[in-house]
Amino acid sequence: MIRFDYARPADVPEAIGLGAASHAAYLAGGTNLIDLMKENVARPLDVVDINRLPLSAITRTEAGGLRLGALATNADTAHDERVQQDYPLLSSAILAGASPQLRNAATNGGNLNQRTRCYYFYDIDTPCNKRVPGQGCGAIGGVSRIHAILGASEHCIATHPSDMCVALAALEAEVRVEGPEGERVIPFADYHRLPGDQPWRDNTLRPGELVTAIDLPQEGYARNYTYLKLRDRLSYAFALVSVAVGMRLQDGRIEEARVALGGVAHKPWRRPEAETLLRGEAPSRAVFGAAADLLLTGAVGQEGNAFKIPLARRAICRALEQAAAGTPQSQTDKRIA
């Protein structure tokens, strides 16, 4: 590990002042950043520990939604009674990720900003445009089982690894950030980026900006939802494909549907046309299949991950069927007192 300076600011302005330095990194739960530093993948010169900042609360918003503090842990968020009751899709997605110990340490801000799990990104002896711009991409033509089938570029085929973010995309959350130029609110769909020709940029945060909270809208699709995660092991594994569905039904027809995919692109993947197609329809295999085809339009596989295309199609259909039937894949569990 290389030398770095460590600071533990007490308030947000002080943190932003320190975080604006070039080669600075915010440290939250550390479950991703510390691993990256140990592997020499991340080499910040200033580590700004944000754990003393007052950003852990989960509160109601004036609009009737919920504000999740950036430093609320994934465990506290998933087990919050308001989240379980009004946003079970989010609770399910968080509980499908990592392990109880990791979720106790991992924070909401850190979850949004975690880096890809691409093997080559972690191995500094292989080329990776995300780690070293211009170096090339080891995954293209290499081992690509976990890589993207949608929205990839000739420079990078990495996926975003988060489960929580797939649910947040479906719920159309907003990300509240604060930085040297003040505060702003970023719609979730605009928070993460596709790799394009700048794969080293995962998101649209500007230098020094800190995520302070995530706002959930009032509608949580608490009756008809599912988070379906397909992976190599039943637990403690990242998604090969995941699907978050939120749906509202009226008189046996779909009034509104949200579908977001994880494990298939550099960001949670949505396609408004697929959701428009579902609106007004009675739930059926035919209409779910048509929506799946639209969502997967343009999907391209490598030798190692082409299996994801039919897998994703089946997963989308199954998730939509489960949501329409009101039988979610993952039940939220109660924390043992």
Ligand X SMILES: Cc1cc2nc3c(=O)[nH]c(=O)nc-3n(C[C@H](O)[C@H](O)[C@H](O)COP(=O)(O)OP(=O)(O)OC[C@H]3O[C@@H](n4cnc5c(N)ncnc54)[C@H](O)[C@@H]3O)c2cc1C
Q: Please enumerate, as own/partner, the contacts of 120-127 that have beta carbons within 8 Å and a separation of 24 or more.
A: 121/41, 121/158, 122/36, 122/39, 122/41, 124/39, 124/40, 124/41
Closest to ligand X by CB, 120 or 191: 191
Rounded least distance, CB 4 to ligand X, Å: 12
β-sheet bridge partners, residue 150: none
Tokens of 23: 């080669």
Mask for 270-309, x = binds ligand X (CB under 6 A)? ----------------------------------------
Closest to ligand SF4 by CB, 95 or 149: 149
Answer yes or no whether residue 120 interacts with ligand SF4 by CB under 6 A.
yes
Instruction: Considering only residues 197 through 256, tell me which ones interact with ligand SF4, judged by CB under 6 A.
Output: 199
Among the listed residues 39, 26, 130, the one whose alpha carbon sits nearest the alpha carbon of residue 70: 26
Stretch that binds ligand SF4, among 14-22, 28-36, 125-133, 208-216 (CB under 6 A): 125-133
> Can you spell out the DSSP letters for 271-325?
-HHHHHHHTTPPP-HHHHHHHHHHHTTT----TTTTTHHHHHHHHHHHHHHHHHH
Burial of 325 (0-12, 13-18, 19+ CB in 10 A): exposed
Rounded least distance, CB 113 to ligand SF4, Å: 15
Answer yes or no whether residue 170 interacts with ligand X by CB under 6 A.
no
Tokens of 317: 């259909």
Among ligand X, ligand SF4, none, what binds residue 107 when CB lies within 5 to 8 Å by partner kind? Answer: ligand X
Interacting residues toward ligand SF4 by CB under 6 A: 116, 118, 120-121, 128-130, 137-139, 156-158, 199
Interacting residues toward ligand X by CB under 6 A: 25-33, 50, 70, 74, 97-98, 102, 105-107, 109-111, 113-114, 161-164, 210-211, 238
